[in-house]
């Protein structure tokens, strides 16, 4: 999660919402790291999770990312949660819960839907205070200037 937090810091330096993610293989090898790029890429789908899944898929030559774990600083939204299902990610570990659009238990619980053909394990709260504080400070500053 430390590397995901560093990615969130990099996002904030680019005036992106400070969300970072990393994907590791079953044996702990870093496959991809990234952060939000929605503003810089003019792409509403360029969330940190999607950026990392795309990079790992290209690196491995396969969209199925079997046995992997995604570490992300904010609970994934519905779009990202479904991408995790489609990519066959084994586990997602997120820092801060998202009380507005979280789709891994906060607002929605997309990953636990029994109709999916793949189950993604979920763990929340790892470094949650640190990630949540960064996000709160970012949005507070945006409201002051914006």
Query: Residues 81-124: pLDDT tens digits?
Result: 999 999 999 999 999 999 999 999 999 999 999 999 999 999 99
Q: Tokens 């990079």 label which residue?
A: 55
What is the value of pTM for the model shown?
Answer: 0.95
Q: Per DSSP, which regions of the chain are E strands?
A: 20-24, 30-35, 69-74, 91-96, 121-124
Predicted confidence (pLDDT) per residue in 128-143, tens digit: 999 999 999 999 998 8
**Residues 6 or more apart whose Cβ sits within 8 Å of residue 9:** 18, 20, 134
Tokens encoding 32: 């991809």
Catalytic residue among 49, 75, 121, 130: 49
Task: Judge whether 51 counts as a catalytic residue.
Answer: no
CA distance 69 to 89: 6
Tokens of 139: 């949005």
């Amino acid at each position: 999660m430390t590397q995901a937090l560093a990615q969130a810091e990099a996002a904030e330096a680019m005036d992106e919402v400070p969300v970072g993610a990393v994907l590791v293989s079953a044996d702990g090898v870093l496959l991809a790291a990234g952060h939000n790029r929605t503003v810089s890429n003019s792409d509403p789908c360029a969330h940190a999770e999607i950026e990392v899944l795309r990079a790992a898929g290209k690196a491995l030559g396969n969209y199925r990312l079997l046995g992997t774990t995604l570490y992300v600083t904010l609970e994934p939204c519905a779009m990202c949660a479904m991408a995790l299902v489609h990519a066959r990610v084994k586990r997602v570990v997120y820092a801060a819960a998202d009380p507005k659009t979280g789709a891994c238990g906060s607002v929605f619980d997309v990953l636990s839907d029994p109709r999916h053909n793949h189950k993604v394990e979920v763990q929340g709260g790892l470094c949650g205070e640190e990630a949540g504080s960064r996000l709160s400070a970012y949005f507070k500053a945006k409201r002051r200037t914006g």
